[in-house]
Amino acid sequence: MQLEDYFNILSPNDIRLKDSRIGIETILYEYIYRARTPEEIAKIYTSLTLEQVYATILYYLHHKETISNYMADWLEWGQKRRQEQRRNPSPVVRKLMGLKADKSTLYPETVGAHGVRP
């Protein structure tokens, strides 16, 4: 089996493990940024085998520059999405934020003088 046989390369910015919806960025984030061992990663993502985790790390090591750029793009995309979500929260998030800001809406008869429930 060739190393590339472990992956579905859907586009240059979307590489997933075969027979999985998990992208290589998920495994590599745990490995590179959280310093988790392959065994720890396999325990977290139980739908993956330890062999798949090692294959992903080996793929990264064989294509370090390309995959490092892939990871940088993925991290930047995630940061932009979080900023956009903060600027334009969904209706559900806006409602939850409103409820949090006005706790008396949830517990009008039980909120004390200092806003603390007894």
DSSP 40-89: HHHHHSTTS-HHHHHHHHHHHHHTHHHHHHHHHHHHHHHHHHHHHHHHS-
Residue ranges and CATH numbers for the domains of the chain are 3-104 (1.10.10.10)
pLDDT tens across 20-70, in order?
A: 999 999 999 999 999 999 999 999 999 999 999 999 999 999 999 999 999
pLDDT tens across 74-101, in order?
A: 999 999 988 998 888 888 888 887 888 7
Given a contact cutoff of 8 angstroms between Cβ atoms, the answer to whether 17 and 52 are in contact is yes
Is the alpha carbon torsion for 110, 113, 116, 118 positive or negative?
negative
